[in-house]
Chains A and B, each alone.
Chain A
């Protein structure tokens, strides 16, 4: 029982971290049809800048806010100078965002050197909870709570606000949205910055969780996030949330019971979903929520 609950908690918390990365990816794809391979670069910048700010200031909240700010600034630069010139051209997007990913990952080493960096937990999140003799690590609960709150906030943003309505309409028909007087370029930028901020936040939350950050982790998590986006259905926020949990939980159990196979697992999940439902779990044309 203890093992089961712990694996579940691990799986859900990892899943929600992946979700933070996948949420931006899926919305950016849904609205702009852009596959942003540089997304993982924003994640790793969030992880490093968060870890660094935490070390310097000893304030975890400041670290998170700083990481999000760094992510959004980099996201703005990316959207404005790399992606905007190649809207509508998938091959160029692929090349240029992959290039962006490499530049973002490698430039980490200029600032923080080539070696992994250790990251500590903030004091107020150290330790664990005990329920009926089952020990659950505090930080994981924290990640779950934050992840769920963010999911809720995103869902409210998309389903209850005017800008959310515009985004959902934009996912369905960009031209018609423009014909209603709405500046779609502005919407693109908003969604891109939102996605960038979430990716950086994911990185900043992951750093103390894994205890160590390294430049290549961006690619590693970006691949997971891409798998999640495809399993969940491109453009669907709920689909990505569901798929993140599946990938996270399945990964945690596999790593424990069949560690040799855990790498193959995601590919297997992907293959099964694509065979059974090629549009992904909740991928229906046009439901961004």
Chain B
């Protein structure tokens, strides 16, 4: 059953027609990866789901409930955790304060979620009282992911977590994300095909504000032509 359904979304940013009829669905318990080159509209898709850039037409359904058209904080409270492209770190808050804030409007077993995140990302426990702004790039990404997971309940939207991180760090993060699939559904925006294709179950490829391909990740790996055409991989 699909947990999240985007139906024919059209989103404008200012006068620009960015999303031009985007339809997708994310199956419960899966990792679905959204690929696409720079400027394709991936971030805008996530921002439309979160209600930051509402679409002019089309709809978003979560658990078969319409969530497009309501304010962001209420969309979040339905159980959607969000990791923005720039990580959205509260630099002057400590790790502790950040995760407590994530708990404040969270539903579900918040204590358990917190414990599991500290187990998965021990660095967060180590730097518990450190200001988030002083963490390394990788640690900031872990914090952003933990915050979203603790706040959410059922779905995580993660926007290009590999951005600016070393290959080793990216690998570690991808492993963690794969582990998180046990407890939550994930919609992942990525440009790192090698990494994302290892952990994804389904994929969508976006180009110029439209979905141009979708299917099982397994099939994409064998489809050299599509990979080359849209993802620039030989």
Contacts and interface: CB of A to CB of B under 8 A. Distances in A.
Contacts of B91: 172, 285-286
A275 interface: no
Interface in A167-224: 168-169, 172-173, 175-184
B92 interface: yes
Interface string B88-99: 111111000110
A178 B101 CA distance: 11
Max chain B Cβ within 10 angstroms of own Cβ: one of A162, A173, A180, A288: A180
Contacts of A176: 84, 88, 90
Contact of B90 (A178, A183, A286): A286
B92 A173 contact: no
Nearest to A171: B92
Given A180-B101, A182-B105, A175 B84 contact: yes
B73 A181 contact: yes
B90 A166 contact: no
Interface in B35-93: 50, 52, 71-74, 76-77, 82, 84, 88-93
A181 B93 contact: no
B72 A179 contact: yes
A179 B84 contact: yes
A176 B85 CA distance: 11
B93 A180 contact: no
A179 B86 CA distance: 14
B104 interface: yes
A263 interface: no
A173 B104 contact: no
Contacts of A162: 100, 104
A287 B93 CA distance: 8
Interface in A255-289: 284-288
A181 B106 contact: yes
A103 B155 CA distance: 50
Contacts of A183: 71, 73
B148 to A, nearest CB: 8
A179 B97 contact: no
Contacts of B113: none
Interface in A145-178: 162, 165-166, 168-169, 172-173, 175-178
Given A165-B97, A169-B93, A180 B105 contact: yes
A201 to B, nearest CB: 28
B147 interface: yes
Contacts of B71: 178, 183
A182 B105 CA distance: 7
Interface in B100-120: 100-102, 104-106
Given A172-B90, A172-B93, A176-B84, A165 B101 contact: yes
A2 to B, nearest CB: 44
A178 B76 contact: yes
Nearest to A173: B88
B30 interface: no
Contacts of B73: 178-184
B151 interface: yes
Contact of B82 (A172, A179, A285): A179
A180 B100 contact: no
A165 B105 contact: no
B86 to A, nearest CB: 9
Contacts of B100: 162, 165
Contacts of B106: 181
Name, among B74, B101, B151, the residue most crowded by chain A CB atoms within 10 Å (CB to CB): B101
B100 to A, nearest CB: 7
Given A181-B104, A182-B104, A182-B105, 17 more contacts: A165-B97, A165-B100, A165-B101, A172-B90, A172-B91, A173-B90, A175-B52, A176-B84, A176-B88, A178-B52, A179-B82, A180-B102, A180-B147, A182-B101, A183-B71, A284-B92, A286-B90
Interface of B: 50, 52, 71-74, 76-77, 82, 84, 88-93, 97-98, 100-102, 104-106, 133, 147, 151
